[in-house]
C-alpha cells in the first residue's frame, strides 16, 4: 500500500520548513509570501497531501466542527435556516454536523454529550427541554435559535413570532372576523409562548372575549393541525377564522376544513406562519406570516463565530427579526 504523504514530504518537495507548510494550510497563510505559498500549494497537489485534521485539533484545541441541533428535520422551515448557517460556516472553514432531536428531550441531551465528547467548537440549537444551566455546563460556545427568554446567558436569534402573530390576527380582524381560533403547537418546556401571548393581548386590545375552547394545543405536524381543526369545527359556535402556529399545522387545518365541506376562504379563513414552499401550492394558496429563515441562520452563525473567537465580554445578544404578512387565497372578508 502506498504511504500517505506527510507534511514533511510537502516541506521537502517545496523546499521550505514544516512550519511554513503549517502556516499555508492553517489560518496564517497571509504571513507567507505569495511565491512561497504557491510552491507549497503545488507540492500539496503533486503529492496528493491531505492534512490530518485530528492531529491539528490536538495542537490548536479546535476541531472546526459545530453542531446544528433542531427539533424536526422534516419541517421545511429548517433547511432555510441550515442553508444560512452553512453559508457562513463554510466561509469560516467550519463543518456543520446536523442533529435532529425529533422533539425528544433525552435524545437532545445525548447530542450535547456527543458535542462535548468530540470537542465541537460550537453549538447552534433550537432547544426543546435542555435548560440554560445545563447548556452553560457544557462549556461550549452556544447560540440559541429562537426568541426564548429562558436562556439569558446566551445569544438568541429568532423571528418576532409575537409581532408576526399580531400581524395575522389584525389582518383577520380587519376582514371582519371576531371569533378567531388559535392552533398552538405543543411545547415541552418553555413557559413563555409568544404566539399565545400575542393572541391574548390582541383579544384584550379589541375588547374581545376570551374563549379557551378556541385555543387548541397540538403536536407540530399535519395530523395535529387536522385534529385541532376538527375540534374547533365541532364547537357549538365554530370560529370564522383560524391562526395556526406554523404552516404545517395550517395545511393540516386546511385539509380538515375542506374534508368537512367548508369553502375556503368563503366560510373559513386560515393563516399560517413560516412561509414554507408548500404554503404557496395548497388549494387555495395559504396566507402566511413570512420568516427570514436564511437570515436567522446567517446571523446566528455570525454570533457563534464571535463566541468561538473568545468575545465573551459581549453581553448576551437577543435579536428578533421582523416578520411580514404574505396575503394569498386562504383569507377573505367575513361572509355574514
H/E/C letters for each residue in 277-291?
HHHHCCCCCCEEEEC
Q: Where are the domains of the chain?
A: 7-51, 65-159+293-321, 161-291
Neighbouring residues of 275: CB distance < 8 A, sequence distance ≥ 6: 247, 288, 289, 290, 291, 326
CA angle 318, 319, 323 (to 5 degrees): 140
Q: Return the minimum-mean-pLDDT range out of 191-195, 241-245, 277-281.
A: 191-195
For the chain, the straight-line distance linking the first and the last C-alpha, in angstroms and rounded, comes to: 81
Give the model's confidence band at 4: pLDDT under 50 very low, under 70 low, under 90 confident, else very high. Answer: confident
Q: Establish whether domains 65-159+293-321 and 161-291 are of one fold.
A: yes
Per the CB < 8 A criterion, the answer to whether 24 and 18 are in contact is no
pLDDT of residue 1: 52
Q: 17-60 pLDDT, tens per residue?
A: 988 888 887 767 778 888 898 888 888 888 877 665 544 544 55
In sequence order, the β-bridge partners of residue 152 are: none
Instruction: Please give the average per-residue pLDDT across 166-179, as a whole number.
Output: 96
Would you place residue 185 in the very low, low, confident or very high pLDDT band (cuts 50, 70, 90)? confident
Q: Which CATH architecture has domain 65-159+293-321?
A: 3-Layer(aba) Sandwich (3.40)
The model's confidence at residue 62, banded by pLDDT at 50, 70 and 90, is low
> Residues, the chain, total?
336
Which pLDDT belongs to residue 51?
61
pTM of the model: 0.77
Q: Which fold has domain 161-291?
A: Rossmann fold (3.40.50)
What pLDDT does residue 79 have?
92
Question: Is 250 in contact with 271 (CB distance < 8 Å)?
Answer: yes
Confidence of residue 188 (pLDDT cuts 50, 70, 90): very low
State what percent of residues in the chain have pLDDT above 70: 92
pLDDT at 187: 62
More confidently predicted of 116 and 228: 228
**pLDDT at res. 58:** 41
Residue 239 has pLDDT above 90, yes or no: yes
Better-scored residue on pLDDT, 116 or 168: 168
- pLDDT band for position 322 (cuts 50, 70, 90): very high
> Cβ–Cβ contacts within 10 Å for residue 100, how many?
18
Confidence of residue 192 (pLDDT cuts 50, 70, 90): very low
How far is the C-alpha of 170 from the C-alpha of 154, rounded, in Å?
A: 32
Whole-number average pLDDT of the chain:
89
Which has more confidence, 62 or 143?
Answer: 143
Location of C-alpha cell 490548536: 60
pLDDT digits (tens, 9 = 90+) for 75-123: 889 999 999 999 999 998 899 999 999 889 999 999 999 998 888 999 9
Question: For residue 331, is pLDDT > 90?
Answer: yes
Q: Is the pLDDT of residue 251 over 90?
A: yes
Closest to 257 in 3D by CA, of 183, 195, 325, 199? 183
Q: What is the CA radius of gyration of the chain?
A: 25
Amino acid at each position: 500500500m502506498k504511504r500517505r504523504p506527510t507534511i514533511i514530504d510537502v516541506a521537502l518537495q517545496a523546499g521550505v520548513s514544516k512550519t511554513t507548510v503549517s502556516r499555508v494550510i492553517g489560518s496564517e497563510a497571509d504571513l507567507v509570501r505569495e511565491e512561497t505559498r504557491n510552491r507549497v500549494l503545488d507540492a500539496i497537489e503533486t503529492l496528493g497531501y491531505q492534512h490530518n485534521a485530528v492531529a491539528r485539533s490536538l495542537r490548536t484545541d479546535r476541531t472546526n466542527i459545530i453542531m446544528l441541533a433542531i427539533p424536526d428535520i422534516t419541517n421545511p422551515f429548517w433547511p432555510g435556516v441550515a442553508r444560512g448557517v452553512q453559508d457562513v460556516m463554510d466561509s469560516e472553514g467550519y463543518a456543520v454536523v446536523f442533529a435532529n432531536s425529533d422533539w425528544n428531550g433525552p435524545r437532545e441531551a445525548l447530542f450535547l454529550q456527543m458535542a462535548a465528547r468530540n470537542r465541537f467548537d460550537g453549538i447552534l440549537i433550537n432547544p426543546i427541554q435542555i435548560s440554560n444551566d445545563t447548556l452553560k455546563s457544557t462549556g461550549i460556545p452556544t447560540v440559541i435559535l429562537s426568541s426564548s427568554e429562558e436562556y439569558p446567558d446566551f445569544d438568541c436569534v429568532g423571528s418576532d413570532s409575537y409581532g408576526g402573530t399580531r400581524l395575522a390576527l389584525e389582518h383577520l380582524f380587519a376582514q371582519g372576523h371576531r371569533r378567531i381560533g388559535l392552533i398552538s403547537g405543543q411545547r415541552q418546556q418553555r413557559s413563555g409562548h409568544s404566539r399565545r401571548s400575542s393572541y391574548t393581548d390582541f383579544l384584550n386590545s379589541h375588547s374581545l372575549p376570551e374563549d379557551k375552547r378556541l385555543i387548541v394545543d397540538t403536536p407540530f405536524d399535519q395530523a395535529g393541525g387536522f385534529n385541532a381543526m376538527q375540534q374547533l369545527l365541532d364547537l357549538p359556535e365554530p370560529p370564522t377564522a383560524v391562526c395556526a402556529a406554523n404552516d404545517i399545522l395550517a395545511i393540516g387545518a386546511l385539509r380538515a376544513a375542506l374534508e368537512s365541506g367548508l369553502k375556503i376562504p368563503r366560510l373559513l379563513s386560515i393563516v399560517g406562519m413560516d412561509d414554507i414552499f408548500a404554503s404557496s401550492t395548497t388549494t387555495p394558496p395559504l396566507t402566511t406570516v413570512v420568516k427570514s429563515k436564511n437570515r436567522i441562520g446567517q446571523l446566528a452563525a455570525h454570533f457563534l463565530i464571535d463566541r468561538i473567537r473568545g468575545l465573551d465580554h459581549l453581553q448576551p445578544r437577543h435579536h428578533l427579526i421582523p416578520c411580514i404578512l404574505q396575503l394569498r387565497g386562504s383569507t377573505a372578508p367575513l361572509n355574514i
